[in-house]
Amino acid sequence: MFTVRCVLGTSTKCLASLPAWRQKIKLQSRMSTLPRPVAAVCQVTASPDKEANFSACKHLVEEAKEKGASMVFLPEGFDYIGSSREETLSLSESLTGDTISQYTQLARKLEVWLSLGGFHERGHNWESDRRIYNSHIIINDKGDIVSVYRKSHLFDVELPEKGVSLKESAFTIPGPCLVSPVQTPIGKLGLGICYDLRFPELSLALQRHGAEILTYPSAFTVATGAAHWEVILRARAIETQCFVLAAAQVGQHHEKRSSYGHALAVDPWGEVMGDCGGERPGMVLVEIDLEKVSSTRRNMPVQQHRRDTGFYHSLEKT
């Protein structure tokens, strides 16, 4: 487990001169008292004002660091939520623009890892097609971008009875592929964004490639959030036996759009560890005990019981 590796990495030198049996006792004592890593799962109310949004997010990151978090999770649209297609596109930037530069500097200054949950990134052919990616960016405590995942499932939904009408594909390019889980101070992290959580194939693929934690930064509508948010997140945790961390947007962004909130942290058994509620910005701080991943998978070895891929496609041949 990560915590055990951390103890071994920091303790070997100072224990080298002790007899073997004393080393073992000393090591066990340190392992038993070592604090578990803490994650801060945030929710914000972004608007089209990028400067105000950065100020609000910066405050949350600073507070999380003061309270002991080693990694902070911000939601989809942390940079802004535009009030029109035109505004959304005009406010977008590249990964080398001012917004991400501000966050890399913040991560470096505070020595904290950041999950930036859904950045409006100008596409590779921006000058000709004016289209963007919805990008999930991981920044380490040195201020380096260590992973970028571009949202692969786009939210094109018409629910007239619920007052929901969104067509993300009108201006967003679907990401070309999944990205490998990334090692972080809290564990091995698999990346998704919002609507991706409705596709269990994605979460299972990340789990098969070593993910211990799944993260779905989101901006769920009020109607779909009330109906599906918690139950789907808990289902993803149960079926993969991973922690699930889901930062969220909350409240009124502008006159045309509101978000459900309830930023959530779920453990590998499917129990909710923390919920930010649906009223205002804030955060939940959760300890990540990776032994819970191991014990859950050991006691109920679901992945070992899974049949080969061909078995699940056998119906297509009948």
Q: Which of 57, 65, 121, 194 is catalytic?
A: 194
Give 26: exposed, middle or buried? Use CB within 10 Å, 0-12, 13-18, 19+.
middle
CA angle 218, 224, 228 (to 5 degrees): 85
Q: Which residues of 126-160 are buried (b: 16+ CB within 10 A; e: fewer)?
A: eeeeebbbbbbbbbbbebebebbbbbbbbbeeeee
Give 97: exposed, middle or buried? Use CB within 10 Å, 0-12, 13-18, 19+.
middle
Q: Which of 76, 121, 188, 292 is catalytic?
A: 76
Partners of 213 in the β-ladder: 189, 243
Which tokens hold the place of 175?
């990401």
Mark whether 151 is an active-site residue: yes
Mark whether 194 is an active-site residue: yes
Residues 6+ apart with CB under 8 A from 76: 117, 118, 134, 193, 194, 217, 218, 219, 247, 249
Q: Which of 151, 242, 276, 292 is catalytic?
A: 151
Q: How far apart are CA 70 and CA 174, in angstroms?
A: 31
Q: How distant is the alpha carbon of residue 124 from its chain centre?
A: 24
Which tokens hold the place of 24?
């073992």
Q: How far apart are CA 264 and CA 243, in angstroms?
A: 11
Distances (CA, A) of 296 to 123, 159, 202, 301: 41, 38, 20, 8
Catalytic residues: 76, 151, 194
